[in-house]
Structure 1
Amino acid sequence: MPPHPPTVPFVPVVIGGELATYTLARAFHGELGVRTTVMTRGVPAPVRGSAIIDDEVVPGLDDLDEVVAAVHRVADAHPGRRVMLMGTMDWWVERIVSLRDRFDERVVVPYPELPLIEALSDKERFAQVCAEVGVTHPRTVVLDPDVPESGVPALLADLRAPLVVKPADSPAFHGLLYAGKQKVGYADGVEELLALRRVMTGAGYAGALVVQERVPGGDEQMRVLTTYSDRSGRVRWGRMGHVLLEDHDPGMIGNPLAVVHGASATAMADATRLLEHVGWTGWANFDIKVDPRDGREHFFELNPRLGRSHGYLTAAGHPVATPWVREHVEGLDPYDGLETGPETDDWLYSIVPVPLLRRYVTDPGTRERLARIRRTGRVVRPFVYGPDRGRDRRLAQLKNDLLYARSFARYYRRPVTS
C-alpha cells in the first residue's frame, strides 16, 4: 500500500524521456502507487522496459497540435481520470503552459502562468528581481546583441575576470549546433568573450548574453534549493541540497550529479522573499553557490520545475509528487497532515558511480561524511528501485555509469577547488 494513495483517480503524464523523467515516475509510484505515462519520440534507455511506466510514442512532438492530440488520446484511454501533464526540461514546461487553454477540462497543468515563467527564466530579469528583494546574485552585466564590439570593454569595465557567459534566451540557445558548444561559457577577458560571441552569433543566436563575475570555488561550493509554493503564492516548504559533484560535459556543465542534504535558513529566507515577491506557485529549483571567501550565498538561477537531481529529496523521505497531486488534482491543501523527512539527514543521491564520486570529493569533513553514509548503506541511485528490477533497468544504470566514467575521464580528470 503506498503511503499517499490518491483520493481522485488520475494519470501522471510526463513529456520527455530523460533520467529526471524516470525519477519523477519513481516518485509517483513510490508515493501514490500510480503508473506514469511518458511521451517520447522513441523509447530512450532511461524509461525503456520500466514496470512503472507506460510508453506513449509520439513521433511528432515538435508539432504542438500533435502534442494536444496525444494528451487527449491518453485522457480518452483513461476514462474517469484526470491527466496531470508535466515536463522535465524548461522548454517542455514552457510549451506545456503555452498550450494550457487548448486542453480540455480533464487535463491539469500544475505550473505558473507563462509570462511569469518566462520572466524568471530570463537571466537578466532574474538578476533584476534578486536586486529588488536583496538576494545575493553574482555581479552581472547584460550584453545586448546590438552593442558593437568596440563598446564591450567599457560595458564590462566593472567586472573582474574570469567571466562566466550564459545565453539570456536559453530555449533559443538550446537548438543551436556549433563546434565547442557549452551550456555555460567562460572567458579570461574581453577578447575571449568577443570570440565566443562571434561563434554564437554565427550559429544563429540573436539574443543577449549574461556576463557575470565567476564566484570562486569548486563543485563542493554548490547548493541546490527546492521549494514548493501553494496556489496562493505562499512558500510552504523547501529543502537544501549540498552538491558534491557537478557534470563537466560541455553540453551539461553545472548539472548536479551527487547531492547530500544541507541546511541554510538564510538561503530559504532569501528564496521565500523572492518567490512571494513575484507570486510564484508550484515547484521552484534554485542553483546557489557559496563564496568561500565570505560565506555569502549567490543565487544563480530559478528553474520552473523539479530539478534534474530531485532524487535527493526522495532519498531522504520528502514527498515530491504528493503535494502537487493534493493541490492540483484533489483540490486539497498540499501539506495538511503530510509528513516530510527531517531538514538534514545523511542520505546520498548519486547519479554517478560512488567510487568515481570519491575521487572528486576533496573537503576532509565531506569525505568523512560520505564514508559514513556509505557504511550505513543510505545511498540512492536513480535507476535502482525495488519494484522495478527488470533487465532494462539494470542496463540503464550500467549504461549511465559507463557514460559518466567516460565523460569524467575525458572532461574532468582532476577536481578543481578554486
Structure 2
Amino acid sequence: MPSASATDPGFDVVVLGAGLNSLNLTIAFHQQYGMRCTTVVRIPVAMNERTVTSDLITLGADATDEDMRDALIDLASQRPAGRPALLLTNADSLIDFIDRFRGDLEQHYTLAQVDAALLSRLADKAEFAEICQELGIDTVPTVIVDFSRAGEAGWNGHEELPWSYPVVGKAANTAEYHHVDFPGKKKVFFLETPAEQQDLVRRLRESGFTGRFLFQELIEGDDTAQRSITAYRSSRGKVTLLCAAQVLLGEHTPEALGRPAAMVTGDFPTLTAAAEKFLDAVDYVGFANFDVKVDPRTGRECFFEINPRIGRNNYYVTAAGEPVARHVVEDRLHDRDIDQVVVTAPILYTILPLRLVLSYVRDPALRAHVKQVARRGLRNPFRYRPEGLWLRAYSVISGANFVRKYRAVYPRPTDTGF
C-alpha cells in the first residue's frame, strides 16, 4: 500500500493501468489529499515508476485477468481491517475487467463505475447515438454494420453508404475492438473512397471481428472543432461536476488518433447542459467523459460518444480549479452530498510544447485567446510541481518527440482534422 512518507487521508486508492491515463488520476488525489495512490500494471511505464503521486505494482506482461484479480485481493488483505479503498481505472478494457470480477472485488474495494447493464449500453457508440436521439441531443449521421451477422442474407456490410466521401469509420465498442488485430488497424479510419471502405470491411471480416462497426458522415473542421466534457454523477442521482474544454490539437498517430493533447477550458453552457441531461436520463453513476465536435458549417454540437470513465486528460479539470478526486471521495467513501460545480475558469492544458500547439491554431482570435490564457495558466501534468527532475526532463524529451511525430504524420492542420 502507499508509502508511509505520504499524507494519510484515512483511505487508500488503487488505480489500474499504465501511462497518462492513470498518472492524471493519481495527480488528482495527490494534489487534493497529499496521498500516494497504488498503481497496478502489467507492464511498467517509466512515468508511473518515477512519479511522486503513486507506488507501482507490476504484474508482468503474461499476467492474466485472474492474476490481476488475485493480486488486487492480496493487496486488499494488507490493509488494516475497516480501512476503505477506492478501485479506479481509466481504460476501457480495465473497466470491463472490474465489471467482470465485480463480485470478487467489491468485497474488498469501493467501486465507482456503472453497473454491467448500463455499461454494456454505453460502451456501444451506436446505443449512445440512439439515446441521444431520444433526448434531442445532436449526433453524427451513422450507418451501423453488425459483423456478427456477416453470413446472413441481406447483410448491409456491402451496401453503399448514403453520403459523399470521405467518411469516418470506428468500432462501436472499443473493448471488443481491442482484442482483434489486422494489417493497418487504427482507432479511427478516414476513408476517402468506396473502395477503401469495402477493403476495411473485408479486413474486419477476415480478422474475426464480430462486433458492430460504425461508418459516419464526416463532420468537417480541424481539431479545434472538438470538445471534451468531464462529469461526475453521484450515487444520489445528482451531477456534481461538469467541465468542458475546446481541443486545440489532438494526437495523430494511428494508434492514438483522436486523443486530445492540448485543450483550453472555458464556459460551454449548452454542452454541459446536454451532458447533464444525458447522465440524468440513464441514471448514470460515476465519472464520465463525452467527445463532441462542432460542425463549423452550422454550429451544431454533435455528440460522438461517452467514455464510462474520467478520461485520459482529466487533469484539465483539476488544473482549472476543481479537484476531481473530491467528488468520488465525498460520494463513495464519505457518503456526503456536495453542491454542483460547473468549472468555467480558463486554463491551457497541454502535453505538447506551446509553440507547436499555436502553430496548429489557424483562427487568429482563438490563437490570441490561447496565448492570453497560457500566460496566466498553462498546465502540463509532467510538470506537476511536486514531481522531481526526471518527469520535468521527460516533458522536454516528450515534447521534442511530439514535434517529430507531427512533422511526420500531420505536418499542417487540415479542414477535416485528418
TM-score of the superposed pair, with normalisation by structure 1: 0.91
* 2:28/2:325 contact within 8 Å kept: yes
Residue 204 of structure 2: SS of its match in structure 1?
Answer: helix
Alignment of 1:207-218 (within 5 A): 207-218=211-222
Q: 1:203-245: CA deviations, max 9, x gaps?
A: 2322221111011111000000111111133323311101100
Q: Is the 8 A contact 2:14 2:87 kept in 1?
A: yes
Task: Determine the structure 1 residue equivalent to 2:3.
Answer: none
- Are positions 1:203 and 2:201 aligned together? no
Pairing 1:386–2:385 present = yes
Which residue in 1 is equivalent to 2:349? 349
Contact in 2 for aligned 1:49/1:390 (Cα 8 Å): no
Partner of 2:167: 163
Amino acid at match of 1:37: T
Given that 1:97 and 1:109 are in contact with CA atoms closer than 8 Å, whether structure 2 keeps it comes out as: no
| Corresponding letter in the other structure for 1:308 | R
Q: 1:122 to 1:211 in 2, by over 3 A?
A: same
What is the one-letter code of the residue matched to 1:192? E
Q: What amino acid is aligned across from residue 399 of structure 2 in structure 1?
A: D
- Partner amino acid, structure 1, of 2:37: T
The aligned runs of 1:293-372 (5 Å cut-off) are: 293-333=297-337, 335-336=338-339, 343-372=343-372
Deviations 1:55-97 (A, max 9, x none): 1111267523222221122223331421211111111112112
CA distance in 1, matches of 2:352, 2:32: 24
Q: CA RMSD in A?
A: 2.3
Could you tell me how far 1:173 is from its partner in structure 2?
A: 1.5
Structure-1 residue corresponding to 2:373: 373
User: Which of 239, 249, 256 lines up with 2:253 in the alignment?
Assistant: 249
Aligned to 1:46, what secondary structure does the other structure show?
Answer: helix
In the TM superposition, 1:213-232 aligns within 5 A as: 213-232=217-236
Q: Distance in 2 between matches of 1:180 and 1:64?
A: 27
Cα distance in structure 2, aligned partners of 1:57 and 1:202: 35
CA distance in 1, matches of 2:189, 2:120: 22
How big is each residue's C-alpha offset from its partner over 1:119-143, in whole Å with a ceiling of 9 and x where there is no partner? 1110111111111111100001101
**Structure 2: runs of 5+ lacking an equivalent:** 1-5
Q: Distance in 2 between matches of 1:417 and 1:236?
A: 36
Structure 2 CA distance for partners of 1:292 and 1:98, relative to 1, 3 Å: same
Distance of aligned partners of 1:118 and 1:181 in 2 relative to their CA distance in 1, 3 Å threshold:
same
The offset of 1:407, in angstroms, is: 1.6
The answer to whether residue 113 in structure 2 is matched with residue 111 in structure 1 is yes
The alpha-carbon distance between structure 1 residues 49 and 116, as it changes in their structure 2 partners (threshold 3 A), is: same
Tell me, yes or no, if the aligned pair for 1:7 and 1:330 is still in contact at 8 Å: no
* CA displacement at 1:351 relative to structure 2: 1.2
Further displaced range: 298-307 or 233-242 = 233-242
Other-structure match for 2:86: 84
Alignment of 1:282-297 (within 5 A): 282-297=286-301
Q: How many residues align?
A: 408
Unaligned segments of structure 1, at least 5 residues? none
> Contact 1:51–1:390 at 8 Å: present in 2 too?
no
Structure 1 equivalent of residue 272 of structure 2: 268
Which deviates more, 116-125 or 258-267?
258-267
The CA deviation at 1:354 is 1.3
- Given the alignment of the two structures, is residue 178 of structure 1 paired with residue 182 of structure 2, yes or no? yes
Q: Deviations over 1:158-192 (max 9, x none)?
A: 33322111112321211333332210112223322
Cα distance 1:62–1:128, how it changes in 2: closer, same or farther (>3 A)? farther
In 2, Cα distance between equivalents of 1:159 and 1:62: 45
Deviates more, 1:393-402 or 1:273-282: 393-402
Q: Percent identity?
A: 31
Which is further off, 247-256 or 263-272? 263-272
Q: 2:242 aligns with which of 231, 238, 244?
A: 238
Cα displacement (A) at 1:52: 2.2
Partner residue, 1:44: 45
Quick one: which amino acid aligns to residue 57 of structure 1?
A: T
CA distance in 1, matches of 2:210, 2:157: 20
Normalising by the residue count of structure 2, what TM-score does the alignment of the two structures yield? Answer: 0.91
